[in-house]
A and B are shown apart, each in its own frame.
Chain A
Amino acid sequence: MAHDSLYAAPPAVEAEPGAGRLATLRGLLGSWDAVIVGALVVAVLVAGLTVENFATGRNAQFLLLDLVPLALIALPMTLIVITGEIDLSVASMVGLCSTLMGQLWLSSGLSLELICVLVVLLGAVLGAVNGLFVTGFGLPSLAVTIGTLALYRGLSFVVLGDQAVADFPADWTAAVVRNIPGTSIPVVVVPLLLLALVFGVVLHATPAGRALYAMGNNDQAATFTGVSVARTKFWLFVVSGAVCGLVGIFWTLRYASARGDNATGLELTVVTAVLLGGVSIFGGRGALLGVLAGVLLLGVLRNALQLADVDANALTIVTGTLLIASVVLPNAVADIRARLHRRRQRRPVAS
């Protein structure tokens, strides 16, 4: 079951034959990340020229720091969505990892280094639970991760109640927001880029990566290529959990506060960024660069609108509209192109 569940109808595109049409489509979608990068460039230029205080180093630092959690989670999410699954529990995993870190720091007496390792492992376990339900029991990932979204968030409140743990060592909390000397790029961007590189190489330059696309297009076909669909998907969920563990650590240290409501609602932003980056919600399509550009675009827009004193409530509307537009537009454009193409093909036949 590649596209579980709740997708209104499979995209009509796939149902219709015609190699010409598919070629057009591929051309178009291939260029979607170009479109997003273009939009990003335009957004940065417009913001830089018209919004006061946007094009400064300090602002770049703030912007990037805000984006790191989003970008990190978007990496495994991209791979998961490409296989036709989804993980909505990410923000709750971040929250639970954050409170677990706080609780361990508060009461276990372990060193912070060890706690960090444990938290990443715990994140992986949480992801494994998702993976087990999805691949082991064959349940739709959407339903499973809506369930664990509630479960993990609930547990993160159970772990710390409504308390917050805040007495993390100052050198640690300062370290995560420090800049690379001489620039205004936060140090944490480096591991982010390294991870992005790893994910990018795996997705775009290895047989395993190609298998992910195959899974998104057709589970059975993927099985025939000799890749274990279930096992691969299971590990993707585990990786997603582990990355959420990392983000949980970053979040806790950046805000010097471990509390149950950390990162609430982040899953919606991540999904928005991934879809905006050109990954098809039906699976089988998308690229990591587009997603990173999508993340940046989202961040730049929010930051610029905030600096321009646009109401937070308007920002909510912008996010929702962007999400809808990012799925409606490619479909609509593909439709129109296909229609034009068909007409062009038909004409010579008629004459």
Chain B
Amino acid sequence: MSAYRRGLRVGATSLTLAALLLSAAACGGTTRDNSGNDAGGGTQASGGANPDAAIKEGLKIAFLPKQLNNPYFTVSDNGGKDAVTEIKGEFKEVGPSEASASSQVSYINTLSQQGMDVIVTSANDPNAICGALNQAKAAGAKIVTFDSDTKPECRQIFVNQVTAEGIAENQVKLISQQIGGEGEIAILSATANATNQNAWIALMKDELKKPEYSKIKLVTVAYGNDDDQKSFQETQGLLQSYPNLKGIISPTTVGVAAAGRYLSGSQYKGKVKLTGLGTPNQMRQYVKDGTVDAFALWSPADLGYLAAYAGAALASGQITGAEGDKFKAGKLGEFTVGKDGVVVLGPPTVFDKNNIDQFQF
């Protein structure tokens, strides 16, 4: 090997690399705060909300879901798109192909780099994307979270699909009706650290302490990791471990569909009741074949729609995210910002044999 020639080559390449790095650094030193808050104009107004401000036109609103290839988010992002079209803004949907917090950070950076007015996101991790969101906020973007929240200080508004109490009440009531008010039940959840699931489960346990549910016993909480096959196996495991099981609550769309599929192909069909949070399209078959009596969900499209309006209201200075701020969200009517900047969409819709065919999502 000719060491000299290699040496030369190494020298030349390293020089080139160094030059590249330096040039990147040089243009960095000068154009530090290149952020596109020109479109938003004076949206930085921190002095307080101006409820009479009109929604601005041409707002750049970006949706960043947990991952791109998740049908639930496809539906809610399309709801957001409808809202953005109504207010004559620019809509954009970007996101990673796998649900990881680190790749979301990379996308948040890109969005703040592109000078978005509003970033609407659903967090894969309540903490991991905080730093990036704060940077984006500093660059002039308004941050709205939906479906899954971050720490409150990292965003202005969280659009909650439904209050945790609402979910807990609804789910316990549904299962109680179906099993006739007594017997053993189990919960099939998503992942053990899914913030919203855990909050719901804790409240369901409180709800079960009420006298009218005294004959219902919650035997266990299983985790299907929001993975179809895993949820399927866990359902199977539940039925084998607890022979007297009367009902299952699965407050996750993946879990309830997998459990439904398991039950409908097993001897337990119709005997063990199943309810939870699912989409009508996924559950239609199991409702029609008698596996499932009734289940619930909010409208993911409305959720995205509301989040887009909340973001637009923020960017137009109508609201600041403080408790008590009010804004109009198109066809959904008026909403009030609650404590910690939370806006609640409303009570969940219950789907059963009679109404399921009216819903397509």
Q: Do chains A and B touch in the complex (CB under 8 A)?
A: yes
Chain A residues near B (Cβ < 8 Å): 26, 30, 33-34, 37, 40-41, 44, 52-53, 55-62, 66, 161-164, 166, 173, 177, 182-185, 204, 251, 254-257, 259, 261-265, 287, 289-290, 292-293, 296, 303, 306-307, 309, 311-313, 315-316
| Given A56-B31, A162-B193, A163-B193; A255-B113 close (CB under 8 Å) | no
A316 contacts B97, C-beta separation under 8 Å: yes
Contacts of B32 in A (CB 8 A): 57-58, 184
**Residue of B16, B24, B126, B131 touching A37 (CB-CB under 8 A):** B16
Chain A nearest CB, measured from B348 CB (Å): 25
The bracket for how many chain B residues form the interface is 35 or more
Question: Contact mask B26-47 → A, CB, 8 Å, 1/0?
Answer: 0111111010000000000000
Contacts of B96 in A (CB 8 A): 312
Chain B nearest CB, measured from A225 CB (Å): 15
A255 contacts B125, C-beta separation under 8 Å: yes
Does B229 belong to the interface (CB within 8 Å)? no
| Given A41-B20, A60-B24, A177-B131; A306-B110 close (CB under 8 Å) | yes
Chain B nearest CB, measured from A48 CB (Å): 9
Contacts of A182 in B (CB 8 A): 29
| Given A161-B193, A257-B125; A289-B14 close (CB under 8 Å) | yes
What are 6 A-B contacts defined by CB distance under 8 Å?
A30-B5, A162-B193, A183-B29, A185-B28, A256-B127, A264-B98
Report the 7 A-B pairs with minimum CB-CB distance, sorted nearest first. Answer: A57-B28, A184-B28, A166-B127, A255-B128, A257-B128, A162-B193, A162-B192
Q: Identify which of A26, A44, A56, A173 gathers the most chain B CB atoms within 10 Å of its CB.
A: A56
CA A200 – CA B6 in complex, angstroms? 13
Does B101 belong to the interface (CB within 8 Å)? yes
* Closest partner residue, chain B, to A40 (CB atom): B20
Chain B nearest CB, measured from A174 CB (Å): 8
Contacts beyond the supplied A204-B10, A257-B127: 5 A-B pairs with Cβ under 8 Å: A37-B17, A164-B126, A166-B127, A255-B128, A290-B13
A184 contacts B13, C-beta separation under 8 Å: no
**Residue of B13, B115, B193, B225 touching A33 (CB-CB under 8 A):** B13
A289 contacts B10, C-beta separation under 8 Å: yes
Tell me the chain B residues, 68-109 only, with Cβ under 8 Å from chain A.
68-69, 92, 94-98, 100-103, 105-107, 109
Chain A nearest CB, measured from B286 CB (Å): 27
Contacts of B113 in A (CB 8 A): 53, 56, 58-59, 62, 307
CA A162 – CA B13 in complex, angstroms? 44
A162 contacts B223, C-beta separation under 8 Å: yes
* Closest partner residue, chain A, to B109 (CB atom): A62
B69 contacts A313, C-beta separation under 8 Å: yes
CA A163 – CA B102 in complex, angstroms? 16
CA A30 – CA B102 in complex, angstroms? 35
B28 contacts A66, C-beta separation under 8 Å: no
B29 contacts A309, C-beta separation under 8 Å: no
Does B218 belong to the interface (CB within 8 Å)? no
Chain B nearest CB, measured from A165 CB (Å): 9
CA A257 – CA B132 in complex, angstroms? 13
| Given A41-B16, A53-B115; A60-B9 close (CB under 8 Å) | no
Contacts of B193 in A (CB 8 A): 161-164, 259
**Residue of B20, B27, B131, B192 touching A57 (CB-CB under 8 A):** B27
Contacts of B105 in A (CB 8 A): 255
* Closest partner residue, chain A, to B16 (CB atom): A37
B13 contacts A58, C-beta separation under 8 Å: no
**Residue of B28, B103, B128 touching A56 (CB-CB under 8 A):** B28
| Given A255-B101, A255-B105, A289-B14; A53-B128 close (CB under 8 Å) | no
CA A309 – CA B194 in complex, angstroms? 30
Does B114 belong to the interface (CB within 8 Å)? yes
**Residue of B28, B126, B131 touching A61 (CB-CB under 8 A):** B28
